[in-house]
A and B are shown apart, each in its own frame.
Chain A
Amino acid sequence: MIHDLFTTILADLFNPYSLFLALTGVVLGLVFGALPGVSSTMALAVMLPFTYGMETPAAMTLMLAVFFSSVYAGSVSAILLNIPGTPGAMITLLDGHSMARKGKAAEAMAYALIASIFGGIIGWVILVLLAPVIANYALKFGSAEYAAVVFFGLALVAYASSGDTLRGLAAGAIGLIVGLVGRDKITDVPRFTFGTADLQGGIDIIPLAIGLFGIAEVLSLLTRSDDDASQVPESPARTWPKWTALRQEFPTALRGSVIGTFVGAIPAAGSAIAVALAYACEKRLSKKPETFGTGIPRGIVAPEAANNACVGGALIPMMTLGIPGDSITAVLIGVLLLHGLRPGPGLFENQPDLIITIYGALFVAILLTALVAGAIGIPVYRKILAIPQRLLTAGVLILCLLGAFSVRNAAIDVWVAIFFGAVGFSFIRLNIPVLPLAFGAVLGPLLEENLRRTLLIHRDISVFFDRPISCVLIMVSLAILVLPALFSLISKLRTVRQKTSSGV
């Protein structure tokens, strides 16, 4: 199989048609992914009609190239504009945008690219070698485990985001409530819709993220004093980090990639949980956890490696079981179905050549993303920083309006973006972390669905502690939430006791 795979990769690289399709996909993915509001799913959906007349391998080559490169490009708007294009890029902006504000935007994008390529390759290797094994492990996840994973993800975000924990918990609760707006999926009963038809379908995460991160950031820049260096400074000439600096980030990239692949393989868990887990893991292992969020490479490498490793991970349940892990793989399944193919175990038995072609196409997409983004993408993206502030501000705010509108071509999404822009700005002024709100909104529906399904099936909340995976996840989540506060309290009590005994 390995021999066939290498032959396929070489054939793709030297076949002008395949190379043209992969290159087109990569370039389009890099453009679409960098535009706020234009998600990987939208990029794939836009490209879908072009695949109707293609052969299946050609269609998958184009779509996988768009998929992988747009996932990387989501980090560009997060780093340059503080607007995450996808939930997977929400953690990247913590250190990525902070690094850009220090005048190291190009270096931050280079770290993101290198970590993305590394994560993509690790995810690809695991996909090729271990897909059936991981698919079996992912199948062991029932509703109790899903609910526990979501709770775990929320605990990780509360831990990973900077700022006060109590304010973070309040923001998380607001986010979860926002996630519940709209018709309940099980009973079809509307909640928090205030009688408006527009809110019945719920609040989409992309306009919310555009408002919370993009509009709020620009509003914040506008209110800074005039002599303050409010614009992200242009990068110095150096883009690529030194080899010694890169070598130090290798363990981080490896851990992030493995986490990303395994979490990505859990259907519906998504990149949001993977990046939060990778970031929290690095923060926990670091000797200087307080530096996270201030613009350090590790804070970019961990989430970006995990985010792009999720691509390989998400393909595992899709290829082996025919289960779409998220909306992106649902579109990819659509491509296969359009060509009369049903992904799943049967595909491995009946179409082994196609499986190898898909694996090969993904690898070529990773290689071309590295080449195109490295040679053309970063130099072009960094030119954005040379635009005068008045035009950048106007451009970013208009981009936010159009990006929000283009998600569903709905006016309500523009209102949502503006409203959450004002909310995010208030949060910045009040020193409330914004990230828990965004993650709460992403994970709220998933938490509710699985929590209720578990209680519906098992009737008893003790089921979460009877099942080993969910029990471990809940225990670890509680430890993450409680232990830091407990240690801080003990340390304060110790200080007070020492001062009392020394008579100070």
Chain B
Amino acid sequence: MSPTPNKDQQPDPRESLNDLIAGGLCLILSFGLAIYHTAQAGRLHEDFGRDPGPAFLPVILLIALGLSGVALTLRGGLGMWRRRPPEMAASLFSLWPAAAAIAILVTFLPLRALFGAATALIVIGAALALLAGRTETSRWPVTAATGALVGLGLFGVFRFGLSVPL
């Protein structure tokens, strides 16, 4: 009689899902970059004589990445086999503060171009403080004002203390 695997010995479905997602991303990245790399015009794929050339290591690395992607996808797929996938919707929804923070950070350079670095950092500081302090009991104008002060203070340190041309 063959041994029945204990439930504890089976891979965690969340980890299997992670493998599946990571493997898929690796495959997309390796294929995407490989297409871009091979299609690149110019001297990239010329024969450089004894030098293996600038395309040599990227090709090896893209193959390695692709193989890692295949291995991760297979491992994830096998781990998920006949098992209920974990609940995803709630997990994805919990990511909104990170997405909001990235959206705020992305506005720095456009705001800097429009209004200058000091104003950009005041706005971003206030927005980030509000986001981070969303569950705190302090009043929102106070939170926003202190965040804006942090932005202004750090602008001062880098602009005047370190002479960074912001």
- Contact yes or no, B1 A503, CB < 8 A: yes
Contact A192:B58 (CB < 8 A) given known A222-B131, A421-B105, A432-B22: yes
| Interfacial residues of chain B within 59-104, with CB under 8 A of chain A in the complex | 61-62, 64-65, 68-69, 71-72, 75, 94-95, 97-98, 101-102
Query: CA of A197 to CA of B105 in the docked complex: distance in angstroms?
Result: 23
- Contact yes or no, A414 B108, CB < 8 A: yes
Q: How large is the interface on A (under 10, 10 to 19, 20 to 34, 35 or more residues)?
A: 35 or more
- Contact yes or no, A46 B162, CB < 8 A: yes
Min Cβ gap A214→B in Å is 11
- Contact yes or no, B95 A187, CB < 8 A: no
Query: CA of A496 to CA of B97 in the docked complex: distance in angstroms?
Result: 45
Of the residues B50, B71, B105, contact of A166 by C-beta under 8 Å: B71
| Residues of B close to A192: CB separation below 8 A | 33, 36-37, 58
Among A310-318, A326-334, A391-399, the stretch that binds chain B is A391-399
- Contact yes or no, B109 A411, CB < 8 A: yes
| Interfacial residues of chain B within 125-145, with CB under 8 A of chain A in the complex | 125, 128-133, 135-136, 138, 143
Question: Total interface residues on B, using CB and 8 Å?
Answer: 71
Contact A431:B61 (CB < 8 A) given known A219-B98, A394-B125: no
- Contact yes or no, B128 A394, CB < 8 A: yes
A353 within 8 A of B: no
A418 within 8 A of B: yes
Contact A223:B94 (CB < 8 A) given known A393-B128, A395-B154, A431-B18: yes
B114 within 8 A of A: no
Q: By DSSP majority rule, is chain A's interface helix, strand, loop, or mixed?
A: helix
- Contact yes or no, B62 A418, CB < 8 A: no
Of the residues B53, B101, B143, B163, contact of A397 by C-beta under 8 Å: B101
- Contact yes or no, A187 B106, CB < 8 A: no
Among A11-19, A108-116, A401-409, A470-478, the stretch that binds chain B is A401-409
- Contact yes or no, A223 B97, CB < 8 A: yes
| Interfacial residues of chain A within 349-370, with CB under 8 A of chain B in the complex | none
- Contact yes or no, B135 A226, CB < 8 A: yes
| Residues of B close to A456: CB separation below 8 A | 50-52
Query: CA of A452 to CA of B52 in the docked complex: distance in angstroms?
Result: 6
Query: CA of A432 to CA of B3 in the docked complex: distance in angstroms?
Result: 32
| Residues of B close to A496: CB separation below 8 A | 3
Query: CA of A455 to CA of B147 in the docked complex: distance in angstroms?
Result: 55
- Contact yes or no, A418 B102, CB < 8 A: yes
- Contact yes or no, A180 B61, CB < 8 A: yes
A342 within 8 A of B: no
- Contact yes or no, B147 A390, CB < 8 A: yes
Query: CA of A223 to CA of B36 in the docked complex: distance in angstroms?
Result: 35
- Contact yes or no, B26 A170, CB < 8 A: yes
Among A74-82, A171-179, A298-306, the stretch that binds chain B is A171-179
B146 within 8 A of A: yes
- Contact yes or no, A398 B51, CB < 8 A: no
A389 within 8 A of B: yes
Binary per-residue interface labels of chain A (170-201) against chain B in the complex, 1 for a CB within 8 Å, 0 otherwise: 10011011001000101101111010000000
Query: CA of A462 to CA of B95 in the docked complex: distance in angstroms?
Result: 50
| Interfacial residues of chain A within 428-443, with CB under 8 A of chain B in the complex | 429-432
Min Cβ gap A390→B in Å is 3
- Contact yes or no, A169 B64, CB < 8 A: yes
A234 within 8 A of B: no
Of the residues A173, A388, A397, contact of B105 by C-beta under 8 Å: A397
- Contact yes or no, A398 B128, CB < 8 A: yes
Query: CA of A170 to CA of B27 in the docked complex: distance in angstroms?
Result: 10
- Contact yes or no, B154 A399, CB < 8 A: yes
| Residues of A close to B43: CB separation below 8 A | 187, 189
- Contact yes or no, B102 A422, CB < 8 A: yes
| Residues of A close to B164: CB separation below 8 A | 402, 405-406, 409
| Residues of A close to B128: CB separation below 8 A | 393-394, 397-398
A218 within 8 A of B: yes
Of the residues B19, B143, B150, B166, contact of A395 by C-beta under 8 Å: B150
- Contact yes or no, A390 B136, CB < 8 A: yes
- Contact yes or no, B95 A223, CB < 8 A: yes
- Contact yes or no, B102 A219, CB < 8 A: yes
A499 within 8 A of B: yes
Residue of A nearest to B43 (CB): A189
Residue of A nearest to B65 (CB): A173
- Contact yes or no, B121 A398, CB < 8 A: yes
A–B pairs, 8, beta carbons within 8 Å: A187-B43, A219-B98, A388-B133, A389-B136, A391-B147, A394-B151, A402-B154, A409-B165
- Which positions in A face B, CB cutoff 8 Å? 38, 46, 166-167, 169-170, 173-174, 176-177, 180, 184, 186-187, 189-192, 194, 215, 218-220, 222-223, 225-226, 388-395, 397-399, 401-402, 405-406, 409, 411, 414-415, 418, 421-422, 425, 429-432, 447-448, 451-452, 455-456, 459, 496, 499-500, 503-504
Among all A-B residue pairs, the 7 with the closest Cβ atoms: A390-B133, A393-B132, A170-B68, A394-B128, A184-B54, A219-B98, A222-B97
